[in-house]
């Protein structure tokens, strides 16, 4: 069990896409900071393995839930499972993402387009609407949206993903107004990430170490960011085109 300061002690954090890569890093950081964690991912076995690791390493409660963020009903079921187990969610991280490749813009299929928008935008909208409403009723919380440099500087090889992430950043502002001032809603805009889900396009010189993003998420999850909302934290190495 960690002897480090635990600014999230007594709180519960829900992380989508939480079983691998960046999501896994945030789950472990939140648990080390004292939080109970809900690990949502498409593969239940991976989420359960991480939940067991959290319990062993940090002595924190951890719930693994199989959920596909592109499916409205999965978002609803995830919220039911989270509140059924813990009665509260203090931190929500909309981290799950997908950026399928396509041979050319005119050959991008409707199925791939819809899937990209659903995972990156529809799911976070539904989950934030549900959890944010409960947070506001309970007196507060923190919602963190994981965005991408593509939201501001879209690559032709990732246009649906870029559009979804731009929409996610718009949701940050709108939900901050809807649920504020007690519920804080912020964005972390990442460059390429050297962990888990990484697209094959982009400048390899612009790569976030996952630890940088995890550190920003921990800041936004705790009272250290009590007066920050509707903000975008850029972790993109100043990328410009």
Token couple for 51: 């939940």
- Residue 101: its H or E element: none
Per-residue pLDDT of the chain (241 residues; tens, 9 = 90+): 555 689 999 999 999 999 999 999 999 999 999 999 999 999 999 999 999 999 999 999 999 999 999 999 999 999 999 999 999 999 999 999 998 889 999 999 999 999 999 999 999 999 999 999 999 999 999 999 999 999 999 999 999 999 999 999 999 999 999 999 999 999 999 987 654 444 444 444 445 568 889 999 999 999 999 999 999 999 977 765 4
pLDDT at residue 2, as a whole number: 53
* Residue 153 DSSP label: S
**How many other C-beta atoms are found inside a 10 Å radius of the C-beta of residue 166?**
17
CA–CA distance, 16 with 23 (Å, rounded to integer)? 7
Residue 158, Cβ density class (10 Å: 0-12 exposed, 13-18 middle, ≥19 buried): buried
CATH label, 12-235, candidates 3.40.50.720, 2.120.10.80, 3.30.70.1710, 3.40.640.10: 3.40.50.720
Catalytic-residue membership of 161: yes
In order of 13, 53, 109, 165, the CA distances from 222 in angstroms are 11, 23, 41, 24
| Choice among 83, 102, 113, 161 that is catalytic | 161
Token couple for 196: 């888990």
Say if CB 190 and CB 184 are below 8 A apart.
no
**How many other C-beta atoms are found inside a 10 Å radius of the C-beta of residue 212?**
17
Say if CB 193 and CB 213 are below 8 A apart.
yes
- Residue 202: its H or E element: none
In order of 15, 136, 137, 182, the CA distances from 23 in angstroms are 7, 24, 27, 25
Main-chain dihedrals φ then ψ at residue 99, nearest 5 degrees? -140, 80
pLDDT at residue 196, as a whole number: 45
Say if CB 66 and CB 42 are below 8 A apart.
yes
- Which residues is 98 bridged to in the sheet? none
Q: Residue ranges per domain, the chain?
A: 12-235
Its pTM surpasses 0.85: yes
């Amino acid at each position: 069990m960690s002897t480090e300061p635990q600014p999230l002690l007594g709180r519960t954090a829900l992380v989508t896409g939480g079983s691998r890569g960046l999501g896994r890093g945030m789950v472990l950081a939140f648990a080390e900071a004292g939080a109970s964690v809900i690990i949502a991912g498409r593969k239940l076995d991976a989420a359960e393995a991480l939940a067991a690791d959290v319990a062993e390493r940090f002595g924190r409660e951890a719930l693994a839930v199989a959920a596909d963020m592109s499916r409205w009903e999965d978002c609803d079921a995830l919220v039911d499972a989270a509140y059924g187990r813990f009665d509260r969610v203090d931190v929500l991280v909309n981290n799950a993402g997908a950026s399928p490749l396509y041979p050319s813009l005119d050959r991008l299929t409707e199925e791939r387009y819809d899937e990209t928008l659903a995972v990156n935008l529809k799911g976070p909208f539904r989950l934030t609407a549900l959890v944010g409403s409960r947070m506001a009723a309970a007196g507060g919380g923190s919602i963190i949206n994981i965005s991408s440099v593509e939201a501001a500087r879209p690559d032709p090889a990732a246009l649906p993903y870029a559009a979804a992430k731009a929409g996610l950043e718009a949701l940050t502002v709108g939900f901050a107004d809807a649920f504020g001032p007690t519920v804080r809603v912020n964005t972390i805009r990442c460059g390429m990430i050297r962990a888990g889900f990484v697209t094959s396009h982009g400048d390899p010189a612009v790569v976030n170490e996952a630890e940088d993003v995890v550190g920003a998420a921990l800041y936004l999850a705790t009272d250290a960011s009590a007066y920050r909302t509707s903000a975008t934290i850029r972790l993109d190495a100043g990328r410009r085109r």
